[in-house]
A = this chain, B = another copy of it.
Amino acid sequence: MLAAERREHLLDLLGRTGKIVAKDVAAELGISEDSVRRDLRDLATEGLCQRVYGGALPVSPAVVDYDARQAVAPDGKRKVAAVAAALVRPGGSVILDGGTTALAVARALPKNLACTVITHSPTIATALIDHPRADLFLLGGRVFKHSAVTCGAAAVEAAQNISADLCLLGVTGVHPEAGLTTGDVEEAAMKRALSARAADTYVLASSEKIGTASSYHVLPWAKITGLISDTDPHAPVVERLRALGVDVLIAA
């Protein structure tokens, strides 16, 4: 049995049964426990499993939970969020994407602002419950766990029935050639659907997103009204976007 094959098997087993007992796997595959232990150690180093006495467990969901609940947004995100929140006019309507930056925007909205917020993120909806004058509309659909938003056919369909002045979109990558990108194909489609329902679309991109690209393309620059970021106002990427006619707002 190939070493890579063995690791594959371990990850598969971990995914299916939720745990690995070194002794059992060694017996099952007819190899020494030492090899299994070595594999598990490597896997753990790569963050693919959590090593425990006697075997291994899946990466602790608590780690995932942690960033989702990270109460305080990093400084960059907060600055970006403040600028974005200021774009929401009293009486206006805004489509809010999911993600931590968008959540920061929701938190940055003045508590007594009378506006309409449309979102596909239950997290953001929950965060806005205590904004008494905000009209909240939630787009339903299948909930995608890893980003905590609704996606898929039902959600896209629901989006067809609404429209708004402004759409605030989070992405994971902003790259002059690759454009706006995100890590999931369904999410990318959902973002397109949201953006299409708003008069203006602004992209939220804290500095660490600038110049990077993920797997799935979201929108061409032509469909974007502006970009909000806390990156250097004279960065080459920024100048490039300005040349393309994108309204770049720098959060200081």
Interface residues of A (CB under 8 A from B): 2-5, 8, 18-19, 21, 50, 52-55, 57, 61, 64-69, 71, 112, 120, 122-123, 125-126, 128-130, 132, 135-143, 145, 148, 150, 154-155, 158, 161
A7 to B4, CA, bound (A): 21
A101 to B14, CA, bound (A): 32
Instruction: Give min CB distance, A145 to chain B, whole Å.
Output: 6
A68 to B148, CA, bound (A): 14
Residues of B within 8 A of A158 (CB): 140, 154, 158
In the complex, the answer to whether A143 meets B129 with C-beta atoms within 8 Å is yes
Number of copies: 2
Given A125-B122, A140-B158, does the pair A112, B145 have CB atoms closer than 8 Å?
no
In the complex, the answer to whether B141 meets A141 with C-beta atoms within 8 Å is no
In the complex, the answer to whether B4 meets A53 with C-beta atoms within 8 Å is yes
